[in-house]
Amino acid sequence: MARTLDGEETPPAPSSSDGTMTTSNSIAEPSDFREELPAPLRTLISLPKWTWLVAGLLLIGGTVPFGSIADVPESFNGGAQFSDWVTIVVDWLVVTGDPIFGAINVGLLRYLLLPLEKWLQSLPWWLVIVVVTVIAYRIVGTRFSFVAMALMLAVVVLGIFDPAMTTLALVIVATLLSVVLGVPAGILAARSDRFDTVLRPILDAMQTMPSFVYLIPVLMLFGLGKVPSVLVTFIYAVPPIIRLTNLGIRQVDSSVIEAAHAFGSTNTQLLYKVQIPLAMPTIMAGLNQTIMMALAMVVIAAIIGAKGLGVEVLNGIARLDVGRGLIGGIGIVVMAIILDRITQGFARSRQRESDH
């Protein structure tokens, strides 16, 4: 018998020999038979019913002979008509839009691409290395500044400094066009769900369609040369900055927007003083991806007349010269590493500023 603080005695707790008080009162739950099955079988059993329906239909379609019913009717084959229609439209654009496309060609080439390329190639190689090293030191850090200097020295030693500057000019112009046209498109998509719905499949097509497909109309409209190379690179590289500008502005906290409206901010002030500064790290990530995708188009751009590092790779392929192709590839990789690290470092610095 146990005694409490008040002096009262309490009855002893029932021992295990007093009967099956706990076991007799408990109800045995039925065990799930699926727990005893192997893991692959449990996964198959847990699949939704519609997956079994799809699997059954595919099994029937692959085993049952349907004969001519399985063939696509000839009346459904409109590929030839669509191809003829596209050709007619492009031919009409070539004839009627020649003054417009000619003006674009001359404007980009004479006033933007050629002056930038000549200026970059006129810079002393040692000055370019110093500038790249200083930028890498201020934006990324000491360690990468030495890496950037070593990589630029490798470009000079390999004898591809001038082609690298030509490629850099093409990437800068294509990236500039992407920023000028892509950021406003992303802002408009963030402010209008209807425009975003229309724009999204277009961006999907621009990113997934093989670049050689839209080489054909660009060549017909602008001919061979540097300008069509820039435009093809622009088409391929602009979707990331549009998407991430849209995403960055949409991710701005609604409480911040409500506070800005409470203080009397107009829509323009809200955009330029609240949404864009807070979305800048995401926009910079889009810029980084745009630059990387522009560099990925260097070799294809060389096919339609752009010079630079892509020509080294093409010459290596044409002559089966592995060494020359590798040198051109090394130059592209060096530019990609330096531009990627610098833009990422700038994005991180803007992220720290926005956090404070």
Which pLDDT tens digit goes with each residue over 12-45? 555 444 444 444 444 545 556 666 667 777 777 7
pLDDT level of residue 203 (50, 70, 90 thresholds)? very high
320-335 mean pLDDT: 90
Contacts of 283 (CB under 8 A, 6+ apart): 183, 186, 241, 244, 245, 248, 276
Q: What integer pLDDT is reported at residue 22 of this predicted model? A: 47
Q: What integer pLDDT is reported at residue 19 of this predicted model? A: 47
Q: Is residue 12 part of a domain?
A: no
- In order of 151, 178, 230, 329, the CA distances from 294 in angstroms are 20, 10, 9, 15
- Using a cut of 0.75, tell me whether the model's pTM lies above it: yes
34-48, 76-90, 145-159, 254-268: segment of lowest average pLDDT: 34-48
- CATH classification at residue 306: 1.10.3720.10
Residue type, 199: L
DSSP 8-state class, residue 265: -
- Residue whose token pair is 């603080």: 5
Question: Could you tell me if residue 312 is left (phi over 0), alpha (psi between -120 and 50 degrees) or otherwise beta?
Answer: alpha
Q: Is residue 337 part of a domain?
A: yes
Helix (H, G, I), strand (E, B) or coil at 266: coil
Q: What integer pLDDT is reported at residue 32 of this predicted model? A: 60
Q: What integer pLDDT is reported at residue 248 of this predicted model? A: 92
Per the CB < 8 A criterion, the answer to whether 191 and 248 are in contact is no
Q: Is residue 283 part of a domain?
A: yes
95 vs 42, higher pLDDT: 95
- In order of 100, 255, 304, the CA distances from 159 in angstroms are 39, 55, 23
Q: Is residue 261 part of a domain?
A: yes
Residue type, 163: P
Q: Round to whole Å and give the CA distance between 289 and 227.
A: 22
Helix (H, G, I), strand (E, B) or coil at 3: strand
Q: Round to whole Å and give the CA distance between 277 and 279.
A: 5
Question: Could you tell me if residue 10 is left (phi over 0), alpha (psi between -120 and 50 degrees) or otherwise beta?
Answer: beta
1-15, 154-168, 197-211, 243-257: segment of lowest average pLDDT: 1-15
91-115 mean pLDDT: 87
153 vs 261, higher pLDDT: 153
Range 167-187 burial, b when 16+ CB lie within 10 A, else e: bbbbbbbbbebbbeebbebbb
Q: Is residue 343 part of a domain?
A: yes
191-212 mean pLDDT: 89
Q: Does the structure show a pLDDT above 80 at 7?
A: no
Q: Does the structure show a pLDDT above 70 at 336?
A: yes
Count: domains in the chain: 1
Q: What integer pLDDT is reported at residue 346 of this predicted model? A: 82
Helix runs in the chain, H state only: 21-25, 39-45, 49-63, 79-96, 98-108, 114-122, 125-139, 142-157, 161-191, 193-208, 211-222, 226-250, 254-262, 267-270, 276-296, 298-303, 309-318, 322-355
Per the CB < 8 A criterion, the answer to whether 178 and 241 are in contact is yes
Q: What integer pLDDT is reported at residue 355 of this predicted model? A: 62
Segment holding 9, helix H or strand E: strand 9-10
Q: What integer pLDDT is reported at residue 77 of this predicted model? A: 74
Segment holding 10, helix H or strand E: strand 9-10
pLDDT level of residue 11 (50, 70, 90 thresholds)? low
16 vs 113, higher pLDDT: 113
Q: Is residue 236 part of a domain?
A: yes
Q: What integer pLDDT is reported at residue 136 of this predicted model? A: 93
Helix (H, G, I), strand (E, B) or coil at 314: helix
Q: What integer pLDDT is reported at residue 25 of this predicted model? A: 47
Q: Is residue 76 part of a domain?
A: no
Percentage with pLDDT > 90 across the chain: 36
Q: What integer pLDDT is reported at residue 5 of this predicted model? A: 46
DSSP 8-state class, residue 38: -
Q: What integer pLDDT is reported at residue 20 of this predicted model? A: 47
Q: What integer pLDDT is reported at residue 145 of this predicted model? A: 93
Domain that holds residue 113: 81-122+158-355
Percentage with pLDDT > 70 across the chain: 88
**pLDDT, tens digit, 9 for 90 and up, residues 297-317:** 888 888 888 888 888 888 888
Segment holding 2, helix H or strand E: strand 2-3
